Amino acid sequence: MGKRKIIIGSRESRLAVIQSQIVMEQIRKNHPELELELITMKTTGDIILEQTLDKIGGKGLFVKELDRALCQGVIDIAVHSLKDMPAEIPEDLPITAFSKREDPRDVLVLPQGTGSIENLDKEKAVGCSSARRTIQFLDLYPGLDVKPVRGNVLTRLKKLDEGEFSSLLLAFAGLKRLSLENRISRVFSTEEMIPSAGQGILAIQGRKGEDLNFLACINDKDAQTAALAERAFIQKLDGGCSSPAAAFAEVHGTEVRITGLYVDVETGEKAKGSMTGDRRDAAGIGYRLATRLFAEVR
């Protein structure tokens, strides 16, 4: 009898493929009886690069094609960066595992050879794809110009090095997985710049009712708890890919502490706060913090 074959779906960018390979290596190590195959595809979010995501449909554009492939049985599981997944996902395509979290912090990247942030060219804009990062960055460095930049990490770095931007705001996790930590000029603490919900965590999505017990070797309980709190916070605030909402949870023993940021896009008013509670109530804690911050702004 032959091996059971599992087909993994991924976006086709270099980072997405590396992330899928990380998951595949863990599965192979723990389940040598399985045969694995990787299929990559270009998503709508990868194709439409002329506009920011909030103008063309938000985070769902990064998962639509993979969702369809899952529904049609073309793939058995899909690997995503959790921060790129929409707040609401189909009930029949649940997230079945959360990877151990990579460094969740945001970073500033300067052109090669620029040196420190003191050498940043203030005549050019800072490139950033996230309203969340933009708002928090301008609190730290008021007066600088920030403009949208689209494309995968390598595409953005190419635009930076060709002189289009003075610097880029990116996620530490992506650069680390690409072995590009040497490009980082400034790391922002999670207090200076609260990360996006799920940043640094890989989400493995499958079909409801399928036997996916082999993914237990991937699932990290602390990452799962943090993800539940952060995604509940974002769901309450209806946070899309370009929403200014931010959430970061840390697990300490039996407790989880979540820090969140909510920005009213119409008035620019901001509310920031934290809440701690039993990790078994992670989603409830995230929801209640979002409710409190929303009330403070409104």
Query: Tens digits of per-residue pLDDT, 128-151?
Result: 989 999 999 999 999 999 999 988
66 and 205 part of one domain: yes
pLDDT, one tens digit per residue, over 21-46 is: 999 999 999 999 999 999 999 765 45
Q: Report yes or no on 194 lying in a domain.
A: no
236 and 160 part of one domain: no
Q: Whole-angstrom Cα distance, residue 19 to residue 8?
A: 11
Answer yes or no: are the C-beta atoms of 56 and 68 closer than 8 Å.
Answer: no
Q: Give how far Cα 201 sits from Cα of 56, 142, 175, Å.
A: 25, 30, 14
Q: Whole-angstrom Cα distance, residue 194 to residue 208?
A: 32
121 and 178 part of one domain: yes
76 and 130 part of one domain: no
Q: Report yes or no on 192 lying in a domain.
A: no
Residue 132 domain boundaries: 106-187
Q: Report yes or no on 275 lying in a domain.
A: yes
Q: Report yes or no on 193 lying in a domain.
A: no
End-of-domain residue from the set 144, 165, 187: 187
End-of-domain residue from the set 187, 210, 241: 187
Domain count, the chain: 3
Count of CB atoms situated within 10 Å of the CB of 32? 9
In this predicted structure, the answer to whether residue 55 has a pLDDT above a threshold of 90 is no
36 and 168 part of one domain: no
Q: Report yes or no on 162 lying in a domain.
A: yes
pLDDT, one tens digit per residue, over 174-232 is: 999 999 999 999 999 999 999 999 999 999 999 999 999 999 999 999 999 999 999 99
Q: Which CATH number is 276's domain given? A: 3.30.160.40
Q: Report yes or no on 257 lying in a domain.
A: yes
Three-state SS at 124:
coil
Beta bridge partners of 276: 257
86 and 208 part of one domain: yes
231 and 154 part of one domain: no
Answer yes or no: are the C-beta atoms of 107 and 189 closer than 8 Å.
Answer: no
Q: Which CATH number is 47's domain given? A: 3.40.190.10
Q: Whole-angstrom Cα distance, residue 22 to residue 199?
A: 16
90 and 1 part of one domain: yes
Q: Report yes or no on 43 lying in a domain.
A: yes
Q: Report yes or no on 196 lying in a domain.
A: no
226 and 210 part of one domain: no
Catalytic residues: 84
Helix pair angle (14-30, 153-161), 10° resolution: 140
Pick from 105, 156, 173: which is nearest to 133 by CA?
A: 105
262 and 236 part of one domain: yes
Q: Whole-angstrom Cα distance, residue 187 to residue 183?
A: 11
pLDDT, one tens digit per residue, over 59-97 is: 545 588 899 999 999 999 999 999 989 888 999 999 999
206 and 88 part of one domain: yes
94 and 208 part of one domain: yes
Map tokens 């979540």 to a residue: 258
